[in-house]
Amino acid sequence: MERVLSASEKGVAGSGVGPVFAVARVAGTVDARILADALEILAAENPLLRGKVVGDRLLVGDHGPGLGVGGDLLAESTTSRNGVARALLSGADVALGVEHAFADGRFCVTMLYRLLSHYGELAAGRSVRPDPAGPLEPPLDVRLRGVYHHFDDLPEPPPLVARLPAGHPDATGYGVRGLGFGRAETTGMITAARRARLSVHALLGGILTAALHAELEPNPAPLLVTSSVDLRPRLARPVRPDAGLNCIGDLPAVLTGPACPVGFGRQLMPQLRAGLEREVPQRRFAMVFCGPGPQTAFTPASLAISNLGRLEAPVGLDVTSVRFFTTAPGPTPLVFVTTVDGRLNVDVTYDRAQVSEARVSGWTAHVRRLLVSTCSCARVAVSRDGTDDSRDQVDDS
């Protein structure tokens, strides 16, 4: 089984972007031998997990990725491998990574949950028979080819975009900073979003942007904030969560400060809604990879937010968190957001050579303070008047 790489797959594979990792933290001890057996079953069901790139073709082999035990997730993500997929057990963390050219977070978490489901069955002494393997999925290029023909009304970025300053010239590699919030803070943020008549994504984007604005020089240029959009349910023929392809588009918004988190959120939300209505993420992708002209490079954003939203924990195992990360060279910090079991996780990945480590540290500390204070104000307001005016609000967390 094989197929030729598409333009987008070649573009992502050659850009230095690392695999997309979905990482589940499991309470208790995970048996590496049983997990390896579960991985073998999963790979038998999914040809992409057995894939490797040879020249300009994606080839499917007979066996899936081996399970790495121990080691560092970040180091694993930046180590070159022949295969498309990789899996790792590191302490209580079970991680599944797939090259971003061929997969997105939705596919990775779906596969990770299926892996944990197989593990739970095997650990309980029950046999698991693999489902029949399907074909390789056609890439997003094929699905969008010929659908869009006019791109001259797509939003243009401002000529100057504010970003965190560059890192130390001798810095190498990538950094990851994780922020975890309990149920009280997470519920408080949802309440705050509803009271402000914002989506949860818009308020969280407002918090991230307000904290970033505080780290920049006075009177900075506008901030360009991109939100990753899961295109699977938005295509004319919706794509299944377990279909192996990168089905993500990005939606830019231009924000200006100074503003508080709610103020930035109120700038962000109407731009997101208007962009979704005009199918901007699909059209931006089509313009670059499906159009008749040369590929167009987009301006690097001030920050990029990928919000996987609320994830139900897999049945049968005590999973306390699910997190995501990938690595990408460039000046744009990547923010990954998930909510599992009522707890919010925010993870920031950045290129140390192009983004100041000290400024990322200050930014993420400021994010925590702003989120906690925003949640506290919302809880106090609710306790004072006993109401929560959230009935008509959009909750896209």
Report the pLDDT value the prediction gives residue 395, as an integer from 0 to 100: 33
Q: Is residue 247 part of a domain?
A: yes
Considering the domain architecture, whether residues 180 and 106 belong to the same structural domain is answered as no
Q: Are residues 97 and 165 located together in one domain of the fold?
A: no
**Same domain membership, residue 186 and residue 65:** no
248 lies in the same domain as 180:
yes
Q: What percent of the chain has pLDDT over 90?
A: 76
Instruction: Point out the domain boundary residue: 107, 126, 145.
Output: 126
Taking residues 331-355, report their average pLDDT: 95
Residues 304 and 344 in one domain: yes
Give the domain-ending residue among 73, 107, 126: 126
CATH number at residue 19: 3.30.559.10
> Please, are residues 375 and 344 in contact by the beta-carbon 8 Å criterion?
no
Q: Please give the structure tokens belonging to residue 200.
A: 């949860």
Query: 37 and 110 share a domain?
Result: yes
* Domain-located, residue 157: yes
For the chain, the three-class secondary structure string (H helix, E strand, C coil) is: CEEECCHHHHHHHCCCCCEEEEEEEECCCCCHHHHHHHHHHHHHHCHHHHEEEECCEEEECCCCCCEEECCCHHHHHCCCCCECEEEEEECCEEEEEEECCCCCHHHHHHHHHHHHHHHHHHHCCCCCCCCCCCCCCCCHHHHHCCCCCCCCCCCCCCCCCCCCCCCCCCCCCEEEEEEEECHHHHHHHHHHHHHCCCCHHHHHHHHHHHHHHHHCCCCCCCEEEEEEEECHHHCCCCCCCCCCCCCEEEEEEEECCCCCHHHHHHHHHHHHHHHHHCCHHHHHHHHHHCCCCCCCCCCCCCEEEEEEEEECCCCCCCEEEEEEECCCCCCCCEEEEEEECCEEEEEEEEECCCCCHHHHHHHHHHHHHHHHHHHHHHHHHHHHHCCCCCCCCCCCC
Does residue 125 carry a pLDDT above 60?
Answer: yes
- Does 100 share its domain with 240? no
Chain-wide mean pLDDT for the chain?
A: 90
The mean pLDDT of 184-194, rounded to a whole number, is: 94
pTM over 0.95: no
* Domain limits for position 348: 153-385
| Whether residues 24 and 102 fall in one domain | yes
Identify the domain boundary among 126, 145, 179.
126
What is the total count of domains within the chain? 2
Structure tokens, 289: 């990879």
Residues 164 and 301 in one domain: yes
Do 239 and 339 have their domain in common?
A: yes
Q: What is the pLDDT of residue 396?
A: 37
Residue 64 belongs to a domain = yes
The per-residue pLDDT for range 259-268, each reduced to its tens digit, is 999 999 999 9
Domain assignment of residue 140, yes or no: no
